[in-house]
Amino acid sequence: MQLVRVALDVPLPTLFDYRLEHATRELIGARVLVPFGRGQRAGLILEVGGAPQVPPERIKRVTQVFTGEPRLAPDLLDLMRFASRYYHYPIGQVVMGTLPQALRRARASPDPEARVALTPAALAADWSALPPRAVARRRVLEHLRAQGPCAPVLLRSLASTASRALKDLMAQGWVAPRVELPRDTTQGAVHSARSDLELTVDQDKALRAIEATLGRFAAWVLLGVTGSGKTEVYLRLIERVLARGGQALLLVPEINLTPQLEARLGARFPGAVLAGLHSGVPEAERLRRWRAAESAHASILVGTRLAVFTPLPQLGLIVVDEEHDASFKQQEGLRYSARDLAVLRAKHRQVPVVLGSATPSLETYASALAGRYRLAQLPSRAHSQLPSIRCVDTRAQRLREGLSSELIDALTRRLASREQSLVFVNRRGYAPALVCLACGWSAPCPRCSARLVLHLSETCLRCHYCGHEERVIGACPSCGNLDLTAAGHGTQRIEHALGQLFPAARVLRIDRDSARKRLAFERMQQRIQAHDVDILVGTQMLAKGHDFPRLTLVGVVNADSALYSTDFRAAERLFAQLTQVAGRAGRRDASGEVLIQTEFPDHPLYQAVQRQDYAAFAQLALAERREATVPPYAHQVLLRAEAPAREAVDHFLGRAARAGRRLSFRVEIYEPVPASVARVAGRERGHLLVQSGSRNELQRFVDAWAPCLSTREARRVRWALDVDPLDF
Ligand code: ADP
Ligand code: ZN
Ligand code: ZN
C-alpha cells in the first residue's frame, strides 16, 4: 500500500494523504476520486510516497483513479506549485481552480472523443524496457505509432488481451484520449493570408533576434509603437514554431480581442488547429479545447489569463500581447499575474516568451533596461505614419458640452471627407455626479463611499461599484433646491451633445452599458468596419488593439483627473491609455490626428504623449518611482480585509501589523489604511502594505507572517494577501 498526496479544492494550505495500491510516480498528475468529510471529492495526485502527515490508521483509500483521463504534466504542476507558494494561496485551490469545470467534478469527465493516441511520455519512453511478455501492449503501441490516433474498438483485433493492454497503457500515462477540434474554428476571416508581406527592416531585425532564441529560454520585450506590426512578428515566430512541430501560446488581455486575432491566425495558418480559451467559451467546449491543447492536437492556443495554465506538451513559444494590461492580473482568489507566470513557464520549459506592447509596464521595461529581459524595438509604423498629437488648452475657452471648438472643427472636417472619428471619454453614463450647487450636496450611494452616476438613457442614478440604482430625484434632499445639476461628462452626455451638434451624423456609443453582451460588441465592430458609423464615442473598451481602417481623428475629452491621483501607477496608466487610443487614428493610409483636451498642456506627461516618446516618459516615471521607493524599485504585498464594520477591519489589520513587526525581517510595514474606495456594497475595506527591496526577503516574511493572520478575530473579516498588487 502506497501513500499518495492529493490536491483538493479546499481552503487549506496542504495536500491530503490517501492510500493507493501499486501507486507509482507515473500517477503524479492523475485525477482521482477520494473520500473527504462525508462525501467524495475529485482531486489530483501531486506526490507519491513519503511519510504520512497524520496517524496511518486515519488514512483512507483512494476511491478511484480516473485512468482514461489525461495527466497534468510535471512542468505544469511546477508552475502551480510556484503560484501557490508565491501568491500564498492553497495548493489544492490553485490546482483544481485552473482545471476546466468538468475535471473539478467528482466523477469521470465526459470523454469528448472516442479516439486514443500515444502521449508525449510514450513517445519519449524506451519501449524496450517493457517486459518481454507484454506482447499486447507492444502491439497497441506500435499500431498507434504507425497509424496515429485510433478508435479503441479498432485496437481489439490486435490481441485477445488488447482491451486490457489499452487500459494498462492508459493507467501508465502512455496512451490518452485524443481530442480533436475542427480545423477551422473561425468565422469570416478579415485578414488575408499574406505571409509574403515584406517585413520592414525593424521587423526583420526583431524577428531574427527572437527567432535565434527558439529552443531555449529568453524573455523578450517587443516595444513597438501602435501599428508597427508587432502582430506580424508574432505570426512569423508562430510559423517557425509550427514548422518545428511545436505549440504556441498567445495571451491577450481581453476576450473582445480574441475573435479578431483568431480570425487573423486562422487565415494565416489554415492547416493548423487553433483553440481559443476565454470566459466566453461554454464549459463543454472549453473542456474539448483544453484537451485538444493537452493532447497536442491544437497547435495554437489563444486565450485570456487563465490560459497560461493550459497543458501544452509541445510548447515552443509564449506571446503576451499588450503585456502592460492590468487584466493579466487576477483580482480575486488566486491573485496571479498571467504575464509573470508566462515568463516563469517559459523559463521552466526553456522556450522564449515575447512581451509585446507600445507602452510596456514599467516593471517590464525596467527589467529590459537592467538586462534581465531583452529588448527588440519597432520604432515606426509598418505602412503608415504615426498620427500627429496635439493638446488643446481648455482653460482658454468655454467648452460646448465638454467639447472644444478645435475638436468640433476637426469633427466637422472628418464628416465632410467621410472619415470616421472617435471621441474618447473615460466615464460611462451621462454625468459622473448629480449635485446641488446651492448647498454642495451630491447624490451618494447608500452602500458605498462613492457618488452615484447619472444615467439618462436609463433615467436612473447608478452606482458603478455595487450596481445600486435609484430613480432620478427632482429636488435636493438637503436644502430643497429644485435645480440639480449634472456635473461632468460621461459617454451618454457626449453622445447626446454630438447628436445635437451634428444631426446628420451617425453616432455610436460603445461602453460597458451599450456593449454588455459580447455579440453586441461584435455587431458594433461590424458596423464600424462597414462604415455605418461616422462618430464613435467610447471608453477604453475601444482603445485596445482594434483596427478601424477609416478612423482618422481621435479626440480625448477628460483625461486630467488621473494627474492628481494618489495611485503611483496612475500616470503610467494614463500614458498607456492615451497612446493606445491615439494609436487608433490613421492606421491605414490616411494620416491621423489626435486632439487631447486638457487644462495642463505643459504637463511633462502630455508632452511625452505628444512626442509619442515612450522612452522619455518611462525614464521620467522610473526616476520618480526610484525616488519614492515603489515598484519596480521595491516589492509589495498587500493584506486586504473587508467586513460590515469598520472596527473589525481596523482591529484585524492593526493586529496583523503588530504581529508582523514582532517578526524580524528587512521589510517595511505601513500603517493600515482604508481602501481608496473605503466602502463597497455595505462592506468596509482596508489594507496593510508591506514592502521590501528584496523579493526573497518579502516572501520569507509572508511565509512567517501568514500563519499569524488566521486568528479568532480573522473570522470576522474576509481577508486576502495580494502579492504584487495593482489596485489599492
Ligand atoms: P501592431 O500589432 O504593432 O499594432 P499590426 O501587426 O496589427 O501592428 O500591423 C498594423 C498594420 O500594418 C496591419 O494592417 C498589418 O497588416 C500591417 N503591416 C504589418 N507589417 C507590415 C509590413 N511589413 N508591410 C506592410 N504592412 C504591414
Ligand atoms: Zn454602491
Ligand atoms: Zn442642496
CA 277, CA 290: separation in Å to the nearest integer? 8
Question: Judging by DSSP bridges, how do beta strands 433-436 and 484-487 pair with one another?
Answer: antiparallel
Q: What average pLDDT does the segment 141-167 reach? A: 84
CB of 579 within 6 A of ligand 1: the answer is no
C-alpha cell at 155: 485496437
Cα 366 to ligand 1 centre (Å): 27
The confidence score (pLDDT) of residue 195 equals: 65
CB of 387 within 6 A of ligand 1: the answer is no
Q: Which of 260-274, 411-425, 638-652 has the lowest mean pLDDT?
A: 260-274
Cα 636 to ligand 2 centre (Å): 28
CB of 134 within 6 A of ligand 1: the answer is no
CB of 357 within 6 A of ligand 1: the answer is no
Task: Centre a 10 Å sphere on the Cβ of residue 283 and count the other Cβ atoms it contains.
Answer: 10
pLDDT exceeds 90 at position 77: yes
pLDDT exceeds 70 at position 111: no
Q: Which of 471-475, 617-621, 644-648 has the lowest mean pLDDT?
A: 471-475
Q: Which one, of 354, 352, 373, 351, lies nearest residue 363 by Cα?
A: 373
Long-range CB contact pairs, 571-575, < 8 A, 24+: 571/605, 571/621, 572/324, 572/359, 572/361, 572/362, 572/621, 573/326, 574/605, 575/359, 575/605, 575/608, 575/609, 575/614, 575/617, 575/621
The confidence score (pLDDT) of residue 497 equals: 96
CA 462, CA 688: separation in Å to the nearest integer? 30
CB of 229 within 6 A of ligand 1: the answer is yes
- Phi, psi (degrees; rounded to nearest 5) at 322: 50, 55
Q: Percent of the chain at pLDDT above 90?
A: 68
CB of 230 within 6 A of ligand 1: the answer is yes
C-alpha cell at 594: 489626435
CB of 311 within 6 A of ligand 1: the answer is no
Cα 438 to ligand 3 centre (Å): 5
pLDDT bin (cut points 50, 70, 90) of residue 121 is confident
The confidence score (pLDDT) of residue 50 equals: 86
Q: Which one, of 80, 109, 101, 108, lies nearest residue 15 by Cα?
A: 80
Bond before 182 cis per omega within 30 degrees? no
Q: How far is CA 410 from CA 397, 450, 535, 550, 637, in A?
A: 16, 36, 12, 15, 47
Q: How far is CA 30 from CA 13, 22, 43, 45, 542, in A?
A: 20, 14, 8, 6, 43
pLDDT exceeds 70 at position 221: yes
Cα 468 to ligand 2 centre (Å): 5
Exposed / middle / buried, residue 570 (Cβ in 10 Å: 0-12, 13-18, 19+):
middle
pLDDT bin (cut points 50, 70, 90) of residue 407 is very high
The confidence score (pLDDT) of residue 263 equals: 84
CA 200 to ligand 1: nearest atom: 23
Determine contact, residues 635/692, Cβ cutoff 8 Å: yes
CA 203 to ligand 1: nearest atom: 23
311: Cβ–Cβ under 8 A, 6 or more apart, which residues?
A: 70, 72, 73, 76, 290, 293, 294
Cα 433 to ligand 2 centre (Å): 13
Alpha helical stretches, state H, 629-694: 646-662
CB of 383 within 6 A of ligand 1: the answer is yes
3-state SS, residue 548: coil
**Pocket test residue of 192, 232, 252, 386 for ligand 1, highest count of atoms within 8 A of CB:** 232
CB of 544 within 6 A of ligand 1: the answer is no
pLDDT bin (cut points 50, 70, 90) of residue 171 is confident
CA 370, CA 19: separation in Å to the nearest integer? 49
| Number of H-type helices and E-type strands within the chain | 20, 30
The secondary structure element, H or E, covering residue 290 is: helix 283-294
pLDDT bin (cut points 50, 70, 90) of residue 190 is very low
Q: Which one, of 448, 430, 403, lies nearest residue 675 by Cα?
A: 448
Q: Which of 63-72, 305-314, 343-352, 612-621 has the lowest mean pLDDT?
A: 63-72
* CA angle, 505 then 511 then 513, to 5°: 110
Q: Which of 382-391, 402-411, 464-473, 671-680 has the lowest mean pLDDT?
A: 382-391
**pLDDT tens digits for 132-145?**
888 999 999 998 88
CA 169, CA 554: separation in Å to the nearest integer? 61
The confidence score (pLDDT) of residue 422 equals: 95
Place of cell 473582445: 256
Cα 229 to ligand 1 centre (Å): 4
CB of 514 within 6 A of ligand 1: the answer is no
**pLDDT tens digits for 508-529?**
999 888 877 767 888 888 888 8
Q: What average pLDDT does the segment 239-263 reach? A: 88
The confidence score (pLDDT) of residue 192 equals: 45
Cα 504 to ligand 2 centre (Å): 38
Cα 42 to ligand 3 centre (Å): 59
CB of 377 within 6 A of ligand 1: the answer is no
Closest listed ligand to the CA of 436: 3
The residue with greater pLDDT, 129 or 723, is 723
CA 225 to ligand 1: nearest atom: 3
Cα 400 to ligand 3 centre (Å): 26
The confidence score (pLDDT) of residue 588 equals: 76
- Give the torsion sign (CA, 340, 343, 345, 348): negative
pLDDT bin (cut points 50, 70, 90) of residue 182 is low
Q: What average pLDDT does the segment 579-590 reach? A: 83
Place of cell 474576509: 718
Cα 477 to ligand 3 centre (Å): 7
Cα 546 to ligand 1 centre (Å): 12
Q: Which one, of 85, 70, 79, lies nearest residue 28 by Cα?
A: 70
3-state SS, residue 427: coil
CA 425, CA 511: separation in Å to the nearest integer? 10
**pLDDT tens digits for 526-568?**
888 888 999 999 988 877 767 888 899 999 998 898 888 889 9
Q: What average pLDDT does the segment 157-164 reach? A: 86
**pLDDT tens digits for 667-718?**
999 999 999 999 999 999 999 999 999 999 999 999 999 999 988 778 899 9
CB of 228 within 6 A of ligand 1: the answer is yes
Q: Which of 154-163, 356-365, 570-579 has the lowest mean pLDDT?
A: 154-163
The confidence score (pLDDT) of residue 590 equals: 66
371: Cβ–Cβ under 8 A, 6 or more apart, which residues?
A: none
pLDDT exceeds 70 at position 587: yes
The confidence score (pLDDT) of residue 606 equals: 94
- Phi, psi (degrees; rounded to nearest 5) at 249: -115, 125
| Residue owning the nearest CA to atom 21 of ligand 1 | 382
CB of 577 within 6 A of ligand 1: the answer is no
